[in-house]
Chain A
Amino acid sequence: MRFIKFFFIVLGFSFLQSCSNPSLYQSKHYVFGTIVDISIYGEDEKKAEDATKAVLQEFTRLHNSLHAWEKSDLTNLNESISKNKSYKNASLELIEIIKNARELEIASNHLFNPAIGELIDYWGFHQEEFNPMHPNQSKIKNLVERGPSLDQLHITGTTIKSSNPHVKIDLGGYAKGYALDRASKILHKHHIKSALINIGGNIIAIGQHGNKPWRVGIQDPRGAQAIAKVDLLDGWAIGTSGDYQRYFMNDGKRYCHLINPLTGYPVQGVYSATVLIEPSQNAGTLSDVLSKPLFISKKEDRKDMAKKLQIYHYLIIEDKHISMTKTMADKIQFLNPHTKKNNQIEITL
């Protein structure tokens, strides 16, 4: 009988135990003007803490080097460009980033264009907190006609010169993803075998969460919760461009921070574009960059754009309409049964 008592006490305790999760180290930080969320599984706390610290140091370094409007190496470069001067002693890292971003700009038919800082600034998105503004049509036309492109940069050694003084580089659609790749490398160096890094919604997975894969929710663009979930396997990354992250309303119209470089206006009608990127050296970067051309491109051009950029897993949410590739549909699960009822679901190849 003693044994039975003991059994029930143990049972009671094990019930309480099951609620806690001792080997998951989680921390939240505010860098890049957004939330950075790092989860490390199965390591002792000290090791996880040290690795997290190293990652955060790297993020602060990148923030100070790549910020688009607070003084940084990038704003110095932009200043030189605007004055028609050459920028000397650029870091190898900055040059690599610019070269890589340029390749992606060209591959995306200039829909991903980090040189349109002037336009983004005009729309008021170069501030942490921005005001609704009334766009002036001729001003926007003028800014678009200036035709800035990373292709106009000439790099010789460590010197950068632009043939167009209106190139103003903004790595808003690149830096967070790049930071994910850097973080992934740092965690590997610290021998962390399982971690999940989330920078403002862009996520990369290392290893898995114990005996299950890391599981990630995809935000409902018109709600405060996830619309779907997906297992993020080792080395995979996910990124979303949405009209709900940074936007303002004016006369009942939504103006989001994603601006079509060809028209000069914010994209309207698309709620979100999510891409899932398979493991590679720069999966994080690609998860950040590749959602942009899909978000911006015209509905009828989307498929060709995805094919050109080799995006095999994507999900687009519009008003009462969800479209995704077959491979994406196989990987995600909608959380609310009404989602399928209330939306027309289109599965493409």
Chain B
Amino acid sequence: MKLRSNFFLGDSLIILVSLIFIIFAFKTFWHFETGSVVQVNFQGKIYGNFSLFQDKKISLVGKEGSSMIEIKDGRARIKTAPCKNQYCVQQGWINFTGQILICIPNEVSIEILGKTKAYDSLNY
């Protein structure tokens, strides 16, 4: 009898931990709209994935000069870019899954990732 109850304690702990993990995972990843991670692409490669829930500045020095990416309050933007037209800077902050900012001259793009992508590629 004693053995059985010990077993039950261990098992229920695992069940409990699993449940907490699942709830945590759902809360973290199950976003239909706002994303939690920004993927930075630089010179054709993935430079890195960064959580949106941090204050961070990433400086990338490319062919044209330095691009500055800023992450703050669950959003990301291209703060400064070395190009003339500044489209990427003017578009401002992004935080929804699938949103993307592209700076072609300096080969930088940032994209908000979510659990599921709404589409495979973007027509623009």
Binding site for B on A (CB under 8 A): 1, 4-5, 8, 11-12, 15, 19, 27-30, 33-35, 37, 39, 128-131, 196, 198, 200-203, 209, 214-219, 224-226, 229, 238-240, 242, 245, 248, 274, 335
Residues of A within 8 Å of B61, CB to CB, are none
Q: Chain A nearest CB: distance from B95 CB in Å?
A: 10
Residues of A within 8 Å of B41, CB to CB, are 28
Residues of B within 8 Å of A5, CB to CB, are 10-11, 14
**Do A39 and B123 form a contact, CB below 8 Å, given A4-B11, A12-B18, A226-B98?**
no
Choice from A1, A12, A217 contacting B119 with Cβ under 8 Å: A217
Cβ contacts A to B, 28 pairs, < 8 Å: A5-B11, A5-B14, A8-B14, A8-B15, A12-B18, A15-B22, A28-B41, A28-B44, A28-B45, A28-B109, A30-B44, A128-B105, A130-B84, A196-B121, A198-B121, A200-B124, A209-B120, A214-B121, A216-B119, A216-B120, A217-B119, A219-B124, A224-B92, A224-B94, A224-B99, A225-B98, A245-B124, A335-B118
Find out whether the CB atom of B124 lies under 8 angstroms from the CB atom of A201: yes
Find out whether the CB atom of B121 lies under 8 angstroms from the CB atom of A37: yes
Query: Which 7 residue pairs of A and B lie closest in terms of their CB atoms, listed nearest first?
Result: A219-B124, A201-B124, A217-B119, A129-B84, A215-B119, A225-B99, A198-B121
> How many residues of B are counted as interface, with CB atoms below 8 angstroms from the partner's CB atoms?
38
A contact face: mostly helix, strand, loop, or mixed: strand
CA distance A274 to B123 in the complex (A): 9
Find out whether the CB atom of B104 lies under 8 angstroms from the CB atom of A30: yes
Find out whether the CB atom of B118 lies under 8 angstroms from the CB atom of A215: yes
The answer to the question of B107 belonging to the interface, with a C-beta cut-off of 8 Å to chain A, is: yes
Residues of B within 8 Å of A218, CB to CB, are 122-124
CA distance A30 to B105 in the complex (A): 9
Choice from A1, A4, A28, A217 contacting B123 with Cβ under 8 Å: A217
Question: Please, what's the 1-or-0 string for B52-93, where 1 marks a CB less than 8 Å from any CB in chain A?
Answer: 000000000000000000000000000000011100000110
Find out whether the CB atom of B123 lies under 8 angstroms from the CB atom of A202: yes
CA distance A239 to B118 in the complex (A): 19
Residues of B within 8 Å of A209, CB to CB, are 120
CA distance A200 to B96 in the complex (A): 22
Find out whether the CB atom of A216 lies under 8 angstroms from the CB atom of B91: no
Q: Chain B nearest CB: distance from A287 CB in Å?
A: 9
Residues of A within 8 Å of B92, CB to CB, are 224
Q: Chain A nearest CB: distance from B40 CB in Å?
A: 12
Q: Chain A nearest CB: distance from B14 CB in Å?
A: 5
Find out whether the CB atom of A15 lies under 8 angstroms from the CB atom of B25: yes
